[in-house]
Amino acid sequence: MKKDEYCYMCGMQATSDEHVPARCFFPKDELYRKQLITVPSCFKHNEDTSLDDEYVRNAICAEYSGNHIAFVQFKNKAMKSLARNPMMLFPYKEFQSPKGPTAAFTIDRNRFDRVLRKIAYALFYDLYKKPWNRRLMIISRQLLYSDFSPDAVVGIIADLESKLPEVTKQGQNPLVFRSTILKSGDRDEDSIIRMVFYEGFTIWAMTEIGSSNYLL
C-alpha cells in the first residue's frame, strides 16, 4: 500500500489493501489471478469477511450457469467448505413454477448482498478514487425475489445498458470475474455496475432511489 491512501468505504486513512473480489473466487492457478484488483482499506473496513466471501462464492458456483471454472470451483472448494462448516449449507426446496416442478436453494440475501455491495464500492473506488457514498441495491436475474419481479428490473437495466456510455471494463481474469461501470447521469455517483462471475452469473449494483446523501 502506498502512503497517504484512503479507505475505499469511508475515506479515512487506510491501513491495508484488500482484494476485490476476494481471492477465494479465483482458482489457485496463477493463470486466473492476473493483476487482481486491490483497494486501500481502513482498519474498520478491512474486517475479516472470509466466511461471507466463501458463502457467496459457493452460492454463485452452485448455480451452474457459469463456465467450467465455476463447476470446478464448486466441486473442489465449495464441497469442502460445506463439509467443514454446516452454516454454509443452503436450504433446498422444491416448488411449482409456471413451467412445471422445479427446485431452488435459499440463500441468505443479507449476507449475499453485503459481499456484493463491498465489491461494487471497491470497483467504484478503483475507478474514481473516492468512496461511492450511496446506498446500493443488488439485483440479478439469477436470484428470485419474494417482493418484486426481477425480470421487470433486469429488463429496465438491460434497456439502460444499451443506451448508456460505458466508462470502463475491468478485470484481467474475465473467465472468473469481469465488471463494467456505466454512467446513468452527470455525476460519477450515478453509476451502475455490472459484475459477471464465471461468464454466467450477472449481478447489478445500482444506487437506491433517494440515497443521494447517504454516508457510510
Q: Give min distance, CB of 182 to Zn ion, in A.
A: 25
Using CB under 5 A as the binding rule, whether residue 42 contacts Zn ion is answered as: yes
Q: Which of 35, 21, 62 has the alpha carbon at shortest distance from 200? A: 62
Which amino acid, residue 173? N
- Sheet with 177-183, side-by-side order of all strands: 136-139, 201-207, 191-197, 177-183, 166-170
Using CB under 5 A as the binding rule, whether residue 9 contacts Zn ion is answered as: yes
Residues contacting residue 109 through CB under 8 Å, at least 6 positions apart: 143
Among 5, 10, 111, 214, binds Zn ion (CB under 5 A): 10
Nearer to Zn ion, 5 or 161 (CB): 5
Helix (H, G, I), strand (E, B) or coil at 8: coil
Nearer to Zn ion, 10 or 104 (CB): 10
Residues contacting residue 150 through CB under 8 Å, at least 6 positions apart: 139, 140, 141, 143, 144
Among 25, 45, 189, 206, binds Zn ion (CB under 5 A): 45
Q: Give min distance, CB of 47 to Zn ion, in A.
A: 10
Q: Which stretch binds Zn ion (CB under 5 A): 41-49, 139-147, 162-170, 184-192?
A: 41-49
Q: How far apart are CA 15 and CA 57, in angstroms?
A: 26
**Interaction mask 116-145, Zn ion, x per CB under 5 A:** ------------------------------
Spatial contact of 165 and 148, defined as CB atoms under 8 Å apart: no
Q: How many residues bind Zn ion (CB under 5 A)?
A: 6
Using CB under 5 A as the binding rule, whether residue 164 contacts Zn ion is answered as: no
Helix (H, G, I), strand (E, B) or coil at 113: helix
Q: Give min distance, CB of 10 to Zn ion, in A.
A: 3
Contacts with Zn ion by CB under 5 A lie at 7, 9-10, 12, 42, 45
